[in-house]
Amino acid sequence: MVHRPARLSLLSLLAAACFGTASLQAREQADLESGLAQPGSIAAEADWGDVAWASDQADPGVLPAQATAPAPASSAPATAPSASRFTRSPSDGPRFSNTVLRRNAVRASAFAGLASVPYMIGDTTAGTCLSFGTTGYIEGDLSHPTLTCSRLNIAENNRAVTTDRVYYSYRHFENATPGKVFGLMQNLNVDRHTLGVERRLGEGYCSVELRIPFDQRLTSDPTTTIIDSDFDGFIDPDTFQLLGGREFELANISAIFKVMLAEHEGFVLSAGCGMTAPTAQDVLYTVDVEDIVLVYPNAPVPYASLSNFFTETHFTNETWYFSPFLAYASKKKNSRFFHQGFAQVEVAANPSKVRFTDFGSFSIVDDDITGGSPDFVALWTVNGSIGGSALLNLQAQPLMRLNLGGGYFLINEQDNHGFFDQLVAQAEIHYTTTLQDAKLDRIPLDFIAVGPNTVINADAFDPVIGNLNSRVDILNAVLGVSARVNNTTITNGFTAPLRSGDNRGFDFEYNLQVQHQF
């Protein structure tokens, strides 16, 4: 096969990056064949405990077995050179002579400073929200987190260095779910609870992370109920509901693969890819509007209507997302300052299906907005049928996220503080933008006009489903503090949006992270 060598080469590169060039057992076998080790010597090395190396310079206390001089001719009969993998230094302490293990120890020492860099706080999962409707028909905006509004932000509670950890993250988004129907508005908070685990693979250069979020958010069965049963121009307060309340539900689960590509003098570069699975519930939006007077003074021909709408929109949550990213961290030796960042692009692998159904909506239309006799009754049709339905596609726009953070170690391990191992002040800036304009799908809507003496099939402006704002440009600032005691780190952060209008995903955000390294 033509492509097999390339595929094998890619797998070999990933294996080399994650697991190193060989296992310890393979190294022992190679040493046995070259006469530099004895069987079981690697197991014997474990008895000496961990050995940390401060530099890669030659150590006069290390006497490699392969450099052992042969015995003088006048001495006892010659024997084979010592096969021990380590010898004793002048201080009578064990020293490894294996250059591969020594090089790995030096690399681990270089990563030790980077490992103290705290996790980024992050800002938001906001993406692109959707609108639907048209003049004369249902007009609304629905910002449900399950839909394209909420997307994976890899920088949240993350860093370039791989780690073995479990964590819990809580995020409160104030006024993060705006909804609007016929000019009436509702805005709900979102409280996100995320359980996560990151596990290093092989020699620690790669890791896999799993995020399982649960949201207290707008219900997955939002319903709009607007009824004026008395025809007095006032909505019945007992039955009124704009979208509904909040429920605690499973959100979309994500997995992140990360590999450290390179490091040099306190700098590490990583790359990887995230994947989001559609594990949240579908969204079923129901509209029940009865006997509501709507006035359109700015239409080409001003008119008023007494309208009744009975519709159902089923948003199927079936879109998979993939998010390739780059990440870095930098902290010079003995410096209290650090900086880090992520660059991420997220694309949708497939659209989500939307089934729109009209169950017999109608409007009594009068072209005299001051009042008068009705001109005709409009019976709304979808795909040419009263009570018809249409199958549409909801296309998620690709997003780019740029995340930059830095901070200062108020306390580090060298301070020998009585309680904190480290206390870090953090500041971050986060930018999210769409990479292409929104793709809108249209509902094939028409109406049958039934007048005193005529029946006419008329075209209507097709309602659309998608992001009518076409693009977003979100900019947020974050301040926070991270504290580590033993192997547990607690982070508190506050996020403030720097833009307004449709480029503002919430009023503010609070984040709490608790994680334990193992």
Beta bridge partners of 378: 363, 449
- Please tell me the class of the 99-517 domain: mainly beta
CA distances (Å), 224 to each of 217, 307, 310, 518, in order? 17, 14, 10, 49
Of 455, 440, 302, 457, which Cα lies nearest the Cα of 380? 457
Report the alpha-carbon distance of residue 65 to residue 107 in Å, rounded: 24
Sequential pLDDT tens for the chain (518 residues): 444 444 445 555 555 667 654 444 444 455 445 444 444 444 444 444 444 444 444 444 434 444 444 545 544 454 444 444 434 444 444 443 344 434 454 445 445 678 899 999 998 766 566 666 665 688 778 888 888 777 899 999 999 999 999 999 999 999 988 888 887 888 999 999 999 999 999 889 999 999 999 999 999 999 999 999 888 778 888 899 998 999 999 999 999 999 999 988 899 999 999 999 999 999 999 999 999 888 888 877 888 888 999 999 999 999 999 999 999 999 998 899 999 999 999 999 999 999 999 999 999 988 877 767 788 899 999 998 999 999 999 888 999 999 999 999 999 988 888 899 999 999 999 999 999 988 888 888 888 989 887 787 877 777 888 887 778 899 999 999 999 999 999 999 999 999 988 888 899 999 999 999 99
CA distances (Å), 91 to each of 57, 61, 62, 132, in order? 18, 8, 11, 78
- Per residue in 9-57, pLDDT (tens digit) is 555 555 566 765 444 444 445 544 544 444 444 444 444 444 444 444 4
Residue type, 44: A
How buried is residue 209: exposed, middle or buried, by Cβ count under 10 Å (0-12/13-18/19+)?
buried
Q: With left for phi above 0 and alpha for psi between -120 and 50, is residue 237 left, alpha or beta?
A: alpha
Which residue bears the tokens 């064949």?
Answer: 33
Residue-by-residue DSSP string for 285-348: EEEEEEEEEEEETTSSS-EEEEEEEEEEEEE-----EEEEEEEEEE--TT-SEEEEEEEEEEEE
Taking CA 12 as the corner, what is the angle to CA 9 and CA 14, rounded to the nearest 5 degrees? 115
Taking CA 137 as the corner, what is the angle to CA 134 and CA 142, rounded to the nearest 5 degrees? 65
Residue-by-residue DSSP string for 376-417: EEEEEEETTBTT-EEEEEEPPPPEEEEEEEEEEEEE-GGG--
Of 392, 397, 383, which Cα lies nearest the Cα of 132? 392
Return the DSSP state at 126. Answer: B
Antiparallel, parallel or unpaired: β 246-250 and 206-218: antiparallel
Numbers of helices and strands, H then E, in the chain: 4, 28
User: For residues 430 and 403, is the Cβ–Cβ distance under 8 A?
Assistant: yes
Report the alpha-carbon distance of residue 373 to residue 352 in Å, rounded: 44
Q: What are phi and psi of 4, to 5 degrees?
A: -65, -45
Q: Domain-by-domain residue ranges, the chain?
A: 99-517
Helix (H, G, I), strand (E, B) or coil at 311: strand
CA distances (Å), 309 to each of 361, 375, 376, 391, 436, in order? 4, 19, 17, 19, 34
Which residue bears the tokens 């953070």?
Answer: 405
Q: What sign results for the dihedral spanned by CA atoms 213, 219, 221, 224?
A: negative
Helix, strand, coil proportions of the chain in percent (round to 5)?
10, 45, 40
